[in-house]
Amino acid sequence: MTEHKKLKQWVDEMAALCGPDSVVWLDGSEAEKRRLEDAAVAKGELTRLNAEKLPGCFYHRTDPMDVARTEDLTFICTRKKADAGPTNNWMSPEDGYKRASEYFRGSMKGRTMYVIPFSMGPVGSPFSKIGVQLSDSLYVALNMRIMTRIGSRVLDVLGKSGEFTKCLHSTAQLDPKKRLILHFPEDNAVWSVNSGYGGNALLGKKCLSLRIASWLAKNEGWFAEHMLILGVEDPKGRVEYVTAAFPSACGKTNLAMLIPPEGLKRKGYKIWTVGDDIAWLRVGPDGRLWAVNPEAGFFGVAPGTNSKSNPNALATVKKNTIFTNVLLKDDGTVWWEEGEGKPPASGTDWLGRPWTPSLQDGDGKFIMGAHPNSRFTAPAGQCPSISPKWEDPQGVPISAIIFGGRRAKLAPLVVQSLDWAHGVYLGATVASERTAAQYGKQGEVRRDPMAMLPFCGYNMADYFAHWLDMGKRIPKPPKIFHVNWFRRGEDGKFLWPGYGENLRVLEWVLARARGEGQAVESPIGFLPARGALDLSGLELPNGTMDQLLEVRSADWKEELADHRKFFAKFGGDLPKELGDQTARLEARLSGAVTSS
């Protein structure tokens, strides 16, 4: 097992608190995987899917009140409240431990506590982080097995005294009123209780790899970001890498697995997927920024995934995949809205009720078979476009960083920042319409800086300062961009076809990062010059590109007022540079100065 005294002692203490009938240390073996699957099937936690059509795949339904991250129940527990900042919920560590202990006490009675040693990043890499999650959920254990690298090999690396993040998790009664997702960055610990889903419960993901890691990154001089990583191989065989930060359910998985559209495929482009959700970035010995994907799998949004929008994702989930809250078909396969093929004539919906495509609710709205935040958990190595470098401990060198949000209006298809600090401003002012990935009013526009609003483990003002500071510490920094695939026309329809066609934007982004590519300067940054985006093979109605790239001063002045309102939250903690950026934007919008 392990000779790590502190680890053994902590496991004993937590077992004493939670009171499981037994404690089982996971070794990560294939035989163990089958044992856990069998046990989950026997308990009804998983349903085995059609062995011919979906080998090694399972189906899971969560509690209906437990289908997305709960940001209002997520807390940063630092000794000083100011360290959590105005955008995080805060609780003192004493209160956090005390309140959660009440919910954990005896919560595992009659259950098994699984001890899951896991590594974020390749096992043994100097940049990887080790965590140990204790959980009473087989579903969580099997998901962790896909999303992270688990088992004895991790304990071997940990040795007798290695550092690890203490991750305590219990589904308890799944009571939303007693749900708490607590982070103790000063203790390198996470406590999560009364949820069994996604970022609330797979503690290696958002809790460790973003909230705890962002805190470490700030102190140690690197970045932990909510970003995909992809490589673009051009016709000459050169591969250049970009990262992109979009809020939850805003297109990271889709972009990371993009397939070139016909028009550009002729040119010989190919996309290599490195990661779809989280990037850890460090300055390399060559002065460039290098990115690692700390995860080992994809926890992707199912609805909307089909062979047109994301054929690579579809191929990835053909085996060894866990499907959560999708529609279960009568033949033991699965389906979701805007999925592959026609809706099945019948099936069982995510709530376990008989379903047909014609079912309507009282208001005449069609009832979805799959929950909008239903997801698949699949091993990254199964993705046809997975990069040969996806497990390289050094990562991949980044040429461009792209921020983006889901905005019906205002934000153009793509804009390049004037310089690093302006790029940080573009990131800090990202706004997006809320999606089903979190509880709250859907569609409401909110500021989501760097797509990290729910995931930054400390005061976001300090996070902005860290971003500005890093610009000075990266000798050859990536260029920074902002994109918006979601701008809508007067008719309410998306102006840009998106998905594979987004490669046309990536092509320009990479050209600009190399110092090539034609641009015009606007008050908000560099826009593609007319004809600079390769649109060959794409039929857009007349005037659509102009609409996609339109920057209206009056609208941007309103937007600027909202930037200032958002920044005001941070009071005196906001880096002066960001205030200066608002003043410079104002001046540019008024035509008073043209920046160089």
Residues classed as catalytic: 250
* Binding test (CB under 5 A) with Mn ion, winner from 277, 295, 507, 559: 277
Shortest CB 322 distance to ligand SPV, Å = 13
Determine, following the binding rule CB under 6 A, whether residue 376 of this chain makes contact with ligand GTP: no
Determine, following the binding rule CB under 6 A, whether residue 69 of this chain makes contact with ligand SPV: yes
* Nearest-angstrom CA–CA distance, 255 and 228: 8
Residue of minimal Cβ distance to Mn ion = 277
> How far is CA 458 from its chain centroid?
18
Backbone phi, psi, residue 425, to 5°: -65, -45
277 vs 337, beta carbon nearer Mn ion: 277
Nearest to 166 by CA among 4, 20, 11, 2: 11
Question: Please, are residues 410 and 556 in contact by the beta-carbon 8 Å criterion?
Answer: yes
Determine, following the binding rule CB under 6 A, whether residue 300 of this chain makes contact with ligand GTP: yes
* Nearest-angstrom CA–CA distance, 26 and 138: 11
| Contact track, Mn ion, 240-259, x by CB under 5 A | --------x-----------
Determine, following the binding rule CB under 6 A, whether residue 206 of this chain makes contact with ligand SPV: yes
Q: Give the type of residue at 191.
A: W
* Nearest-angstrom CA–CA distance, 386 and 293: 12
309 vs 373, beta carbon nearer ligand SPV: 373
State which of positions 469-488 bind ligand GTP (CB under 6 A): 485-486
Backbone phi, psi, residue 153, to 5°: -60, -25
Backbone phi, psi, residue 167, to 5°: -115, 105
State which of positions 400-439 bind ligand GTP (CB under 6 A): 437
Shortest CB 454 distance to ligand SPV, Å = 7
* Binding test (CB under 6 A) with ligand GTP, winner from 85, 121, 231, 251: 251
* Nearest-angstrom CA–CA distance, 148 and 125: 14
* Nearest-angstrom CA–CA distance, 5 and 7: 5
37 vs 66, beta carbon nearer ligand SPV: 66
486 vs 526, beta carbon nearer ligand GTP: 486
The alpha helices in 81-191, defined as continuous H runs, are 93-104, 138-147, 152-158
* Binding test (CB under 6 A) with ligand SPV, winner from 185, 199, 297, 405: 199
Determine, following the binding rule CB under 6 A, whether residue 205 of this chain makes contact with ligand SPV: yes
* Nearest-angstrom CA–CA distance, 272 and 231: 5
Backbone phi, psi, residue 34, to 5°: -65, -40
User: Which residues, 6+ apart, have CB-to-CB distance to 61 below 8 Å?
Assistant: 324, 325, 350, 351, 352
Determine, following the binding rule CB under 6 A, whether residue 225 of this chain makes contact with ligand SPV: no
DSSP state of 494: B
- Selection from Mn ion, ligand SPV, ligand GTP, none that 355 binds (CB < 5 to 8 A by kind) is none
* Nearest-angstrom CA–CA distance, 50 and 44: 16
| Contact track, ligand GTP, 486-515, x by CB under 6 A | x-------x---xx--x-------------
* Binding test (CB under 6 A) with ligand GTP, winner from 118, 197, 246, 526: 246
List interacting residues with ligand GTP (CB under 6 A).
Answer: 246, 248-254, 276-277, 300-301, 304, 309, 437, 485-486, 494, 498-499, 502
Binding site for ligand SPV (CB under 6 A): 69, 198-199, 205-206, 248, 277, 299, 437
Task: Report the interface residues with Mn ion, using CB under 5 A.
Answer: 248, 277
